[in-house]
C-alpha cells in the first residue's frame, strides 16, 4: 500500500512535468549550481512578474516525463542541478529574464530551450532573449519555424481549450485523497474494459498510445475523466503484475483486448526489469523464523540488582566511662554507618557527653555511648 502511494505521488509529478512541457509556449532549461537561496528567490520573483513558472524537478522524473510526452530531445540536457522555466503568455519571456539574470550571475548557465516544439541551442536561446516584446517574438518564430499562421493559431487554441478543460475539472470539489480517487477510477476501468484492464488473471501489455484511444471512449462513461484515467493508467502500468508481462516479442493489446502488430521490444523489457528491481529493492524482506538447530535455553527469573546482606559489624573497642575519657585519650567513635573512626578526647568528659577531635580535624560533641576505648589502650 505504501509503495503504491509513493508510485502515485511520483506519477503525479511526472504528469505535471509532461503537461507543462506540452502546454507551455516556451521552455528554457538552465543549471543553477552555485546560486544562493536569496538569488534563486530573486530569479523566481523576476520570472513571476512575466507570468513564467520556474520549477526544480528530479532529473529521473523529468526524463520519464519527456518520454511520456515525446520531448526526448531534452534528455541529454537533464543532468546536474537544473531549473526549468515554463512560459505561457509570452514565449520570449523565459529566455529574456534568464539571459538578463545570467549577465549578473555567472552561476546561472542556460543550457537549451523549446519554443513551439522546436529545440533551441544555448546560442539560439540567447538570440531569442534579445526580442523586446511578444510581437517581435511571433515574427521571429514564424521566420525560424516557417510555420503558417493558421498552425500557430490552432496550437494556441488547443492549449487554451486544454487549459479550460483542466480548470473545469480542478474546480469540482474532491472528496477523499487522490490515491482513493485513482483506485476508484481503476475499478471503473476494470468494469468498463474487462478484456484490457485485468484485475485478476493474466495481464497483457497495452498498446502504445492507448491513452489517446481511451480519451475518445470514456466520453460516454460516467465517473471517468481524462485526468483521472491518466492517473489510473499510470498506476495500472506501474504494478508488478503488469511489469512482469512486458516481455520482448509479446503482442500488445488494444481497447477491445485484440492483439496488435505493436510488439514489446528489448528496450521496453529492459525498462520494465529496472522498475521491478526498484520496487523489490524498496520492499523489506521478511526473514522466516527457523528454530532448527537452536538450543532451548531455560530463562532464569530476573532478580534485579538485589543488594547482598551486610555482615554483622564487629566492634573493636570497649565501653568507656567518664573517668576514662581524659583530655588526650585516644578513642574510637562509633559512626552512623556502623564503623569506627579514630579520634582524641579534646577535653575531659562531662556527665553524659565528651568533645572528641576526629582524624579529619573536626571537633564534635558526642554522647558517651558512641565513644569506645581501643582494646590496646586498656
Confidence of residue 173 (pLDDT cuts 50, 70, 90): very low
Q: What is the value of pTM for the model shown?
A: 0.37
pLDDT over threshold 80, residue 54: yes
% of the chain at pLDDT higher than 90: 15
Q: Identify the pLDDT of residue 101.
A: 92
Q: Identify the pLDDT of residue 314.
A: 59
Q: Identify the pLDDT of residue 377.
A: 45
- Domains annotated for the chain, with CATH where assigned, are 17-171 (3.30.70.1730), 178-282 (1.10.1710.10), 317-377 (2.30.30.140)
Per-residue pLDDT of 118-144, as tens digits, reads 888 989 999 888 886 555 555 555 665
Q: Distance between CA 313 and CA 319 in Å, rounded? A: 16
Summary mean pLDDT of the chain: 79
Q: Identify the pLDDT of residue 143.
A: 60
Residue of 145 and 241 predicted with greater confidence: 241
Confidence of residue 159 (pLDDT cuts 50, 70, 90): low
Per-residue pLDDT of 310-323, as tens digits, reads 555 556 678 888 88
Average pLDDT, stretch 235-255? 89
Average pLDDT, stretch 253-271? 87
Average pLDDT, stretch 292-319? 59
Amino acid at each position: 500500500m505504501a509503495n503504491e502511494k509513493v508510485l502515485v505521488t511520483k506519477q503525479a509529478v511526472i504528469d505535471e512535468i509532461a503537461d507543462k512541457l506540452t502546454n507551455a509556449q516556451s521552455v528554457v532549461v538552465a543549471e543553477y549550481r552555485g546560486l544562493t537561496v536569496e538569488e534563486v528567490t530573486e530569479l523566481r520573483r523576476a520570472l513571476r512578474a512575466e507570468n513564467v513558472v520556474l520549477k526544480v524537478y528530479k532529473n529521473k522524473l523529468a526524463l520519464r516525463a519527456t518520454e511520456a510526452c515525446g520531448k526526448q530531445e531534452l534528455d541529454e540536457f537533464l543532468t546536474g542541478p537544473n531549473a526549468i522555466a515554463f512560459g505561457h503568455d509570452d514565449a520570449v519571456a523565459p529566455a529574456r529574464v534568464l539571459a538578463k539574470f545570467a549577465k549578473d550571475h555567472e552561476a546561472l548557465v542556460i543550457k537549451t530551450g523549446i519554443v513551439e516544439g522546436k529545440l533551441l541551442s544555448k546560442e539560439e536561446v540567447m538570440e531569442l532573449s534579445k526580442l523586446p516584446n511578444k510581437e517581435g517574438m511571433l515574427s521571429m518564430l514564424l521566420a525560424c519555424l516557417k510555420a503558417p499562421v493558421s498552425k500557430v493559431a490552432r496550437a494556441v487554441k488547443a492549449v487554451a481549450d486544454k487549459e479550460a478543460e483542466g480548470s473545469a475539472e480542478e474546480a469540482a470539489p474532491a472528496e477523499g485523497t487522490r490515491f482513493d480517487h485513482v483506485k476508484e477510477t481503476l475499478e471503473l476501468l476494470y468494469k468498463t474494459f474487462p478484456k484490457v484492464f485485468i484485475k485478476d488473471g493474466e495481464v497483457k501489455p497495452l498498446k502504445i498510445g492507448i491513452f489517446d484511444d481511451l480519451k475518445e471512449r470514456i466520453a460516454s462513461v460516467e465517473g471517468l475523466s481524462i485526468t483521472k484515467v491518466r492517473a489510473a493508467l499510470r498506476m495500472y502500468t506501474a504494478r508488478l503484475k503488469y511489469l512482469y508481462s512486458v516481455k520482448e516479442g509479446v503482442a500488445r493489446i488494444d481497447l477491445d483486448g485484440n492483439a496488435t502488430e505493436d510488439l514489446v521490444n528489448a528496450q521496453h523489457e529492459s525498462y520494465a526489469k529496472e522498475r521491478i528491481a526498484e520496487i523489490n529493492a524498496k520492499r523489506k524482506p521478511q526473514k522466516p523464523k527457523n528454530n532448527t538447530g537452536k538450543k532451548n535455553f531455560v530463562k532464569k527469573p530476573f532478580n534485579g540488582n538485589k543488594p547482598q546482606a551486610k555482615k554483622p559489624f564487629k566492634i573493636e573497642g570497649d565501653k568507656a566511662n567518664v573517668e576514662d575519657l581524659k583530655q588526650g585519650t585516644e578513642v574510637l567513635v562509633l559512626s552512623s554507618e556502623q564503623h569506627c573512626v579514630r579520634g582524641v578526647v579534646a577535653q575531659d568528659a562531662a556527665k553524659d557527653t565528651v568533645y572528641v577531635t576526629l582524624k579529619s580535624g573536626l571537633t564534635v560533641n558526642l554522647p558517651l555511648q558512641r565513644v569506645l576505648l581501643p582494646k590496646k589502650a586498656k
